[in-house]
């Protein structure tokens, strides 16, 4: 069901809320890299940020805790959301920012395939064409190699890890979206808490496992004034971004939301060039355009 009509000013506020969410995610690579330079690995940063956010939701809506405990459908949402945040935040901290974000935006491809398997939605010829377009765009992005906006000293040692993390993150986000659709009857606060708890648990357990392995490149965090206050600020930013997403998405059509959200790519690209010294190669731009067009075509097709 489409949202009820709103005034022009109300719609403008909703679009602005979505733009704020897209901005926070689009520039998140920058604070995550600074936190990593200060001794806090992005996995540990993600775990801490989502612990604080989950605590805020639980205090605001105490009944959400019982929902998460008693509804198995929310457990898979927690797992998928946790994997999304852990992989994406890690990837943008060590890899080429624009490349990571574009590969992450292959999620409409995974959504289509998962909807076929889980929701039994038909796979039509236009849908297959959109899949082919997205895959061709990904091939162009991957063909260019690593660009200058990778974290200093990370690209050589990381190898293909940022690309793999970005693709896995997009797949996990697609699974999260499909499961949210399947669990649409669950109260919103329960779904939100499950997503934050998942981010804390998955990132935290992964960080613990890798920190215990000497060669994994992940170190146990040491309390430091260099990262504690910035991490708290980033937690507030992500909590605010999530609230903006909930506000905007509830008041706008799915088509408008889908058009606004890819602005995250624009914010990531601009800040990667201005702050990270990136150079946007024509093959990356062409591949990114194909991926985003496939995503937009998927939404417009559903709306038609």
Decide if 1 is inside a domain: no
Q: State CA 222 to chain mean position distance.
A: 27
Decide if 24 is inside a domain: yes
Decide if 3 is inside a domain: no
Average pLDDT score, the chain: 80
| Cβ-contact 265, 258 below 8 angstroms | no
Domain membership of residue 167 as a residue range: 8-303
User: Tell me, what's the pLDDT at 299?
Assistant: 60
Decide if 118 is inside a domain: yes
Decide if 38 is inside a domain: yes
Q: Could you give the dihedral angle defined by the CA atoms of residues 186, 48, 217 and 38, in that order, rounded to the nearest 10 degrees?
A: 140
| Cβ-contact 141, 99 below 8 angstroms | yes
- Give the count of domains, the chain: 1
As a whole number of angstroms, the distance between CA 145 and CA 239 comes to: 34
pLDDT band (50, 70, 90) for residue 8: low
pLDDT digits (tens, 9 = 90+) for 135-146: 888 888 877 665
Decide if 84 is inside a domain: yes
CA-CA-CA-CA torsion sign (132, 137, 141, 143): positive
Q: Which residues contact 201 (CB under 8 A, 6 or more apart)?
A: 78, 82
pLDDT digits (tens, 9 = 90+) for 235-278: 889 888 877 877 887 677 655 666 677 788 888 888 888 887 77
The structure tokens listed for 293 are 């067009």
Decide if 127 is inside a domain: yes
What's this model's pTM, rounded to 2 decimal places? Answer: 0.80
The structure tokens listed for 133 are 């377009």
């Amino acid at each position: 069901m489409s949202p009820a009509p709103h005034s022009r000013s109300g719609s403008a506020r909703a679009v602005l809320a979505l733009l704020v969410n897209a901005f926070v995610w689009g520039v998140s690579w920058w604070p995550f890299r600074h936190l990593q330079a200060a001794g806090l690995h992005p996995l540990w940063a993600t775990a801490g940020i989502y612990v604080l956010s989950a605590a805020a939701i639980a205090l605001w809506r105490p009944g959400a805790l019982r929902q998460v405990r008693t509804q198995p459908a929310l457990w898979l949402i927690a797992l998928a959301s946790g994997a999304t945040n852990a992989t994406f935040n890690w990837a943008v901290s060590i890899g080429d920012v624009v490349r990571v974000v574009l590969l992450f935006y292959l999620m409409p491809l995974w959504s289509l395939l998962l909807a076929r398997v889980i929701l039994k939605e038909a796979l039509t010829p236009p849908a297959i064409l959109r899949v082919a377009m997205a895959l061709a765009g990904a091939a162009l992005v991957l063909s260019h190699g690593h660009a200058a906006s990778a974290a200093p000293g990370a690209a050589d040692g990381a190898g293909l890890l940022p690309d793999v993390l970005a693709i896995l993150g997009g797949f996990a986000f697609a699974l999260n979206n499909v499961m949210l659709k399947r669990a649409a009857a669950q109260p919103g606060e329960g779904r939100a808490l499950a997503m934050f708890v998942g981010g804390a648990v998955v990132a935290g357990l992964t960080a613990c496992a890798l920190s215990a392995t000497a060669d994994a490149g992940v170190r146990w965090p040491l309390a430091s004034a260099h990262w504690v206050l910035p991490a708290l600020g980033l937690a507030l930013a992500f909590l605010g971004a999530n609230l903006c997403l909930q506000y905007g998405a509830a008041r706008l059509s799915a088509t408008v939301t889908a058009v606004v959200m890819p602005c995250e790519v624009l914010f990531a690209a601009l800040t990667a060039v201005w702050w990270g010294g990136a150079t946007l190669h024509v093959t990356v731009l062409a591949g990114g355009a194909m991926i985003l067009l496939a995503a937009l075509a998927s939404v417009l097709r559903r709306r038609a």
